[in-house]
Each structure stands twice: as structure tokens, then as C-alpha cells.
Structure 1
Amino acid sequence: MIETVFQSADLPAAERFDTVRDLMSSASAPMDVSSEHAADLLVQQRDLQLDAVRAWTMTIQPMTFHRSEKLIERSDPATFNICLLLDGTMTRAWGAGHAVYHPGELHISDSSQPFELRARSADEAVSCVGAEIPKRLLPSRSERLIGHPLSGRAGVGALLAQFLTRLAEDTGCYRSADGPRLGLIATDLTSALIAHHLDDGHRPPPDTHRRTLVLRIRAFIQHHLADPDLTPRTVAAAHHISLSYLHRLFEGEQFTVAAWIRHQRLEHARRDLADREFLPTPIHAIAARWGFTRPADFTRAFRTTYEITPMDFRRRALQPSR
């Protein structure tokens, strides 16, 4: 689980709007932005990467977001972004559609569809929380709810709203292994909300079992990274599936099972190497902490992945200037 925080107040007033515009333009789903507060724009945003799901919270001065066909052609991550408005109002226009959102309401955006979103507030502060989820993890007819206001005050909507709000508030108490589990909860609650409004009788789409199983396997791997005997075969056995079926489950993923285990181990080790708390811990002990029993294998894998040795990476990461 990776957390990033951006606060425009940390920048000189004259640089804030240009920085925010550049960040929005370089996002995985880029957008143009404009604001009457461009001279000294205030924006606060926190992102939590929960495996395939990104949870976020944002407080902004009045702004307008625009995602055009041209920007979609440039980059489309194929995600749905579900947003819960906490303060202020939002007005959204897309195609022939138009909607206004008030505090306590949820709405869904599609990264593949153009839209314009205007965020306004009498107190000059608009705040919201949300989650960006790959389309492949949600019901196939989700696009029917794009843009429509959904209640976050009762029923499944309230459960999702409470989860997103607490997730944004309590980031300091989570561990890295919690990421996939929290991502699974966000996906399940969003799927339940969509099914409720589509009146599907809560029937899951045909591939729900596959998606849920993949997320459960990812959570299992995260929890057992320190076990040097963790292999695709042991993962398959723990979930009572064949090894060949496990490999088929990951055919559409970015990594194979073995590659994802190695990638997660390296990422956790890299994080520890950059943490001053672990400075007294030898590199080989950090490697062993994440399942690498042979220091030479760890060094080789680290250098191949990051094009730097673990020792040089630690030295650079812990330089006082950084």
C-alpha cells in the first residue's frame, strides 16, 4: 500500500496552479483544469494505492475539470471513478446528460467518456473522497449509472460512503499487506451499490468469482511474502485450485504469479532500504525479511529490476539532502 500526499500550500502561490494543472495533465486519466483562484490555488489530495484500486481524498477551491476526447485518446486507464461529495456542490455535463451533486451523494465517472465537472462552494472549499477501480472488476452494465446521483446516506450507499470516509481518515494505522484487502472491500461495496441500482437482484456478473479469487490470492501473497517457501504451487494448494488454473487466472494481469511475488518482495525490500528506521539492519537481513534466502539472488534481482545495487540505492535514498 503506497500513500502519496500533495498540498499546493507547500508551493509559492504563483506556482500552485501550473503545478496542479501539470499533475492533472500527467495523470493516468488526464484532465484540463481551470479556476478563478489560479493566482493562489489551494488543493490538498491524498492517494492510497490499494493494489489495483486507488482510494483518494481531495479538498479544493472552486475548479472546473474537463476530460476531452483528445485526452482520452492520449491515455485511458479503463477505470470507473466513484466520488462521494462531502462539502460544496458539483455540476457534471456529459454527452446529453447533466446532473448536480450535493453533500452525501455519490456519482460514477468513466475514464473512457468525456465530461466537464464544475466544483463550487459558498465557503470556497469543496471536499470529496472516492475510489478509482478498473472496469474489469465491476459489473458489466455499470456504465448505465454513469453520472447519475446515488444516495450515500442509506443502504449500500451509506456503507460505501462510510468505508471511503474512514479509509481517508485513518491512513496511519494501515499496514502494506492491508492494501489488497481494502481494495477488495472497496470493489465489493461498489459492485453491491451498482447491482442495487441496476435492480439485478444482486446477481454477480459471470466473472465475479474469478476477480474475487484473484484479489483474495493477491492478499494471501502479500500476507506470506516473508515465507521463503511461497511459490505458485503453494499458493494454488492454499486456495484448493490447480497450478494450471492459477496461471490462467493471472493471464490477464500485468505479472505472472511468480513475477508478482518477486515484484512485491522487491518493492517491500526497497521501501525498507529507504527507511532510516532500518538503517542498522544489514541488507541481507532486509532481504531475508521479504523471503530472499540467498543475498546474491536478492542483489541480482534488485539490480536487474532497478538498475542499481541495494547498497547504492540505500546510500542514495538516505543522503541527508534527500
Structure 2
Amino acid sequence: MLHESVFRTVDLPVGGRFEAWAELLGKTHAPMGLSPIPLSAADRPDHPPADYHAHQRLIALGDVTIWPATFDPIVFRRTPKLIRQSDPENFHLSLLLRGEGAATWGRQQVAYGAQDFHVNCTSMAYEILTGTEPVTTVGIEIPRSLVALPARHADQVIGSRLSGREGVGTLLAQFLMQLAADTTPYRPSDAPRLGTVVADLVTALFAHAVDAEPRLTPEAHGRTLLLNVKAFIRRHLGDPELTPTTIAAAHHISRSYLHRLFQAEGLTVGAYVRDQRLRNAYRDLTDPDPVLRATPVHAIGARWGFPRAAEFSRAFRTAYGVPPSELRRGVTSSRVAGSGRVAK
């Protein structure tokens, strides 16, 4: 499991929750000032709320830090005084998953919503305020030196709203959400490598935003391309014509280079496609949703790229030890038996 530190206001007395979170963020390597947002006429902006909810995790990935957080309405301020106090020269990206917000630099302002990335820098003063509802984000703290772009290009992205719904933004957003959802599959030794992947994707996202050529190493290009290829495969699993040839052609690379990308992870292209298809079929076969339970087994196989029922059954049995129809019967029987016990 990766190293994490966790802060939760629910672990603290009600009256001191906001002050505790403000003190925590005021003592970081890039300190910020916090102010509550009044939500009613009874609230005073110069007084902390009687209760406040915030849950923040810090996930260390070498020099890169990921921090998923959920918190009540707030104003973050990075002032010139705080910059003079400490400036680690980091970029900060926030992927907004729930809620809304706006950021201000002098006379410039940008609003952002769900699945948007907002970009700022610890060397610049700013003010960020959220809406009137709780906010959920996944933040990235990354040293400027790890973004492999000339400074004049990287700085153009500061203050931008970048989409997490398309292109490289989608790859980065999916990577962050998967990592934030569960860090248990990873060992501490994986942390620096995961941080390198984040740095590569941030560089690619910035380069796309300013139409610049990233100065990535061949290894970094390969890692980013492989993530892109895997995302393409997951989007097209239902296509029975999804083959190494069509995958390579869609990414303008040779089949031999495509195979080398997967070999670097100890995989083959065919095995990865088959594994993803079977995982999705397994999920549908065990899903309690009435529509999926009424869908014939062979139709679920066809949905995930197995147009021939016999081929689907063989592949599924090899992977999971039972035919798909038998798995479904077993799951259904267990649910019926469980319901009977509850009824008693």
C-alpha cells in the first residue's frame, strides 16, 4: 500500500474543526489562507462556522503528491506574503469531481465545473472560491522541474481550465480517480514510478493546451502512448474486429512497436484485450441489475467482443474455472438463498 496521511474534521471537536484545517494548510510547504463562505445571513465571514466538514488525503508518489479531498464551501488564498514565506515552485492541478469554483489572479478570473482541471502555481498569488455546495477534488502537486516543457510554454497554462473529458485530460483524470479510489494494490516501491507517469501525463496535457512539443524522453513517450492505447482498447472492447493491426493503425504506429509497448509491462496485446473483455463480462454476469440478469449469456459475451458463444464460454471457463452460465446460476442461487434467510 502507498504511504498516505489522512486528515478528517469528524475526528475533532465540532467547535475547532475549521481552525484545525486552516492551521494544517497554513503550515504546508506552500501555505494558504482559508476563509469560510457565509451560507446564510446568520453566518459571519470573519468567524469560522460552528461546524465544518473536510476530508483530505495526501498520497506521496516520490516528488509528486496526490491529494483527494472533500470539503465544505471555502475560499483559498495564496498571498504575496505567503509566497515570500515559502515557495516550493510547484504547479498545482485540481480535478473537480463535484461542485463548482472560480479562481482569480488580479483582474483575471476563470470558472470551472465538474471534470475540469484548474491549474495554478505556488509562485503566483491567487484566490480560489467554491460554490455553496460541498466540493470533491483530486489535486496534484508537481515540481515545475518535472514538467518537461520550456518555462515560457508551461507558464501559459497557469490559470487555465483544462478539460478532463477528452484527450490527454481524460487519461490523466482516469489515472487520478483510479489511484485515489484504492491505493492498496500498490507497493511503496511503486510510488516513484507512479509519480513519473503523472509527470508525463501533466507534461502531455500542458503541451496539448499550448500546442507545444513536450521534451519527453523516449521512455516517457512510450508510457504516455501505452496509457492512450489502453484507453482506446477499453472504449472499443465490443468491436470483434479489435486486433493489434487495427489498434496500431488507430495510433499511427507499427504492430511491432505496439507489441513492444506491452512487452515492457510483461503483457501481450491479445492477452490484455481478452482480459478486459472477460472482466467486463464477469461484472455484467454478477450484477444484480434486473436488465442485466434478463440479458442472455451469449448476448453479454457478444457485447464484450465475443460474437461466438462457444468461444466466449471456453475463454471464460479458462479464466474463471466455470462456464459463464454456471457462474450466473450460482450467483442467482446465492441471492435467492440469502433472501430466504433474511425473510425468516
User: Equivalents in 1 of 2:190, 2:62: separation in Å?
Assistant: 10
Map Cα deviations across residues 280-312 of structure 1 (whole Å, 9 max, x no partner): xxxxxxxxxxxxxxxxxxxxxxxxxxxxxxxxx
Counterpart in 1 of 2:16?
15
The 1:211–1:108 alpha-carbon spacing in structure 2 relative to 1, beyond 3 Å, is farther
Counterpart in 1 of 2:27?
26
User: Equivalents in 2 of 1:130, 1:31: separation in Å?
Assistant: 14
Counterpart in 2 of 1:169?
181
1:3 aligns with 2:15: no
Q: State the Cα distance separating 1:211 from its structure 2 match.
A: 11
Counterpart in 2 of 1:247?
none
Structure 2 counterpart of 1:142, from 154, 161, 169: 154
Q: What stretches of structure 1 of length at least 5 have no aligned partner?
A: 213-322
Q: State the Cα distance separating 1:209 from its structure 2 match.
A: 3.9
Counterpart in 1 of 2:45?
none
Map Cα deviations across residues 128-159 of structure 1 (whole Å, 9 max, x no partner): 00211000011222111111111110111111
User: Equivalents in 1 of 2:89, 2:219: separation in Å?
Assistant: 16
Q: Output aligned runs, 1:138-287, within 5 Å.
A: 138=147, 139=149, 140=151, 141-200=153-212, 203-205=213-215, 208-209=216-217
TM-score by length of structure 2 reads 0.58
User: Equivalents in 2 of 1:50, 1:171: separation in Å?
Assistant: 11
TM-score by length of structure 1 reads 0.62
Conservation of the 8 A alpha-carbon contact between 1:137 and 1:211: no
Structure 1 counterpart of 2:78, from 48, 58, 67: 67
Q: State the Cα distance separating 1:105 from its structure 2 match.
A: 0.5
- Same amino acid, percent of matched pairs: 40
Residue identity matched to 1:204 = P
The 1:211–1:41 alpha-carbon spacing in structure 2 relative to 1, beyond 3 Å, is farther
1:118 aligns with 2:119: no
Residue identity matched to 1:168 = A
Q: Please list every run of at least 4 consecutive aligned residues from structure 1 whose deviation after the TM superposition is greater than 2 angstroms.
A: 208-212
Counterpart in 1 of 2:87?
76
SS of the equivalent of 1:40 reads coil
Structure number with bigger Rg = 2
Q: State the Cα distance separating 1:170 from its structure 2 match.
A: 1.2
Q: What stretches of structure 2 of length at least 5 have no aligned partner?
A: 39-47, 221-344
User: Equivalents in 1 of 2:18, 2:214: separation in Å?
Assistant: 43
Could you say what the CA RMSD is over the residues aligned between the two structures, in angstroms? 1.8
Q: State the Cα distance separating 1:7 from its structure 2 match.
A: 0.4
User: Equivalents in 2 of 1:29, 1:173: separation in Å?
Assistant: 30
Conservation of the 8 A alpha-carbon contact between 1:87 and 1:103: yes
User: Equivalents in 1 of 2:126, 2:211: separation in Å?
Assistant: 26
Residue identity matched to 1:156 = V
Counterpart in 2 of 1:102?
113
Q: Which stretch shifts more, 164-173 or 24-33?
A: 164-173
Map Cα deviations across residues 42-87 of structure 1 (whole Å, 9 max, x no partner): 0000111100000110100000000000000000010001110011
SS of the equivalent of 2:194 reads helix
Counterpart in 1 of 2:141?
132
User: Equivalents in 1 of 2:7, 2:63: separation in Å?
Assistant: 21
User: Equivalents in 2 of 1:166, 1:94: separation in Å?
Assistant: 32
Residue identity matched to 1:40 = D
User: Equivalents in 2 of 1:43, 1:120: separation in Å?
Assistant: 15
Residue identity matched to 1:164 = L
Q: Which stretch shifts more, 134-143 or 33-42?
A: 33-42
User: Equivalents in 2 of 1:177, 1:7: separation in Å?
Assistant: 27
